[in-house]
Amino acid sequence: MICSKCCEPAIVSQRYSGKHLCQSHFVEDFESRVKETMRKNDLVKDGERLAVAVSGGKDSTALLLCLHKILDGRDVELVAITVDEGIAGYRDDTITSARAITSCLGIEQELVSFRDEYGYDLDEMVQGKEVAPCTFCGVFRKKAINLMAKRMGATKVATGHNLDDEVQSIVMNYLKGDIERLMRFRPRKVQPGLVPRIKPLREIPEKETALYCMVNGVFAESRECPYASLSLRADVRDMMNDLERLFPGTKQSTLQGFERIAKTDPGKWTKIDLASCGICGEPCVKEICKACELCKRLKI
Ligand code: SF4
Ligand code: ZN
C-alpha cells in the first residue's frame, strides 16, 4: 500500500480517516494531532514546568518523546515522574524502560513508590482480599503523582491516556450510570493543592502510540499488567475494539459525542471548590480523600 500523501510505502492504515501513511507522514500526522489537541485546549503555556507521568509503557513513552520534540524551543521545562506500584514481575521492567528513556532525553526523573507513600506494595494491599486491584491502583497512583508533582514544583502533570483509554472510561461510567464521575472528565476549576492534569494523547488511538515509539527507535514495554484482565475496563476495551473493527471511527465518535453532551451541561463539577482531606490534607470532594478511605478499608 502506498502513502496517501507521497509515493512511499505506507506503514499504517487509518481506517477511521481513510488515510494510509508512510513513516514520515505518520510521524507528522501524529505530532500535528497532538499539537492541535494542546492548542485547542490551551494545555501548556510558556514558563511551565511540566511533569510527565512516565511508566515506561508505550503510551507514556510516546508522550514523552512527542512532547520533548514539539515543545523544543519553547519555554517549557519537562520533568518526569515514575510510579512504582509494587507489581511483581511487571513494574520492574517498565521502570527500567522509563529510566532509559528519561536519561536518553536528559530529563530529570523522580520515582515514587506505593511502599514509600503508603507502606505497602499493591501486591500486598490486594493479596487475599476481595477487592479490584485497579480501583486501588488508580486512586493511589493519582495521589502519589500529585504529591510528587508538588514536591518537584510542577505546574501541570501530563499523562499518557490515549483515545482508547478515554473512550473506555466514558463507556464504563455510562454503564455504571456514574454521571458525576463522567462529568469529572471535563476541565475543572484550578484547585489549591491539586496540580492540573492534561492528556495530550487523548485523541490518538492506542495502536498509534506503540507505532510512534517504534518509528522513533524505542521499543517500549507493551506487556500487560497481570491485574488488567480482572477489571471491567478489559471487557469494555474488547467490546470497543470489536465495534471499531465493524464500524471504523466508533472510538472517535464516542469521544466527540461525550464532548458535545458535556458542553451543553458542564454540571456542578466544573465549579465546586474541593475540600482538604481530614487525614492527609490532599484535595478531595468528601471529608476524607478516596485514598485515605481505601487505606481505611484495607486497614493500612
Ligand atoms: Fe494498576 Fe490496574 Fe493498570 Fe495494573 S492494570 S497498573 S493494577 S490500574
Ligand atoms: Zn487523604
Distance 19 CA to ligand 1 centre (A): 33
Is 121 in contact with 90 (CB distance < 8 Å)? no
Question: Which ligand is the nearest neighbour of the Cα of 123?
Answer: 1
The string of DSSP codes covering 211-233 is HHHHHTT---B-PPPTTGGGSHH
Pocket of ligand 1 (CB under 6 A): 85, 133-134, 137-138, 225, 227-228
> At what angle are helices 23-40 and 206-215 packed, to 10 degrees?
120
**Does the structural domain 30-265 have CATH classification 3.20.20.70?**
no
Ligand 1 atom closest to 228 (CA): 5
Distance 131 CA to ligand 1 centre (A): 13
Q: 94, 121, 124, 134: which to mutate for ligand 1, most atoms within 8 A of CB?
A: 134
What is this structure's pTM? 0.93
Report the distance separating Cα 140 and Cα 234, nearest Å. Answer: 20
Give, using CA atoms, the residue closest to atom 7 of ligand 1: 134
Question: Which ligand is the nearest neighbour of the Cα of 292?
Answer: 2
CA torsion angle for 212, 74, 187, 35 (degrees, to 10)?
Answer: -40
Is 294 in contact with 134 (CB distance < 8 Å)? no
Residue by residue, pLDDT tens for the chain (300 residues) are: 999 999 999 999 999 999 999 999 999 999 999 999 999 999 999 999 999 999 999 999 999 999 999 999 999 999 999 999 999 988 888 999 999 999 999 999 999 999 999 999 999 998 888 788 998 999 999 999 999 999 999 999 999 999 999 999 999 999 999 887 888 777 667 888 999 999 999 999 999 999 999 999 997 666 789 998 878 899 999 999 999 999 999 999 999 999 888 887 656 666 678 889 999 999 998 899 999 999 988 876
Q: 94, 137, 164: which to mutate for ligand 1, most atoms within 8 A of CB?
A: 137
Buried b vs exposed e over 40-57: b needs ≥16 C-beta within 10 Å?
eeebbeeebebbbbbbbb
pLDDT digits over 113-141, tens only?
999 999 999 999 988 887 889 989 999 99
Distance 140 CA to ligand 2 centre (A): 10
Q: How many residues are listed for the chain in this entry? A: 300
* N-to-C CA span, the chain: 57
Q: Cα dihedral sign for 33, 38, 44, 49?
A: negative
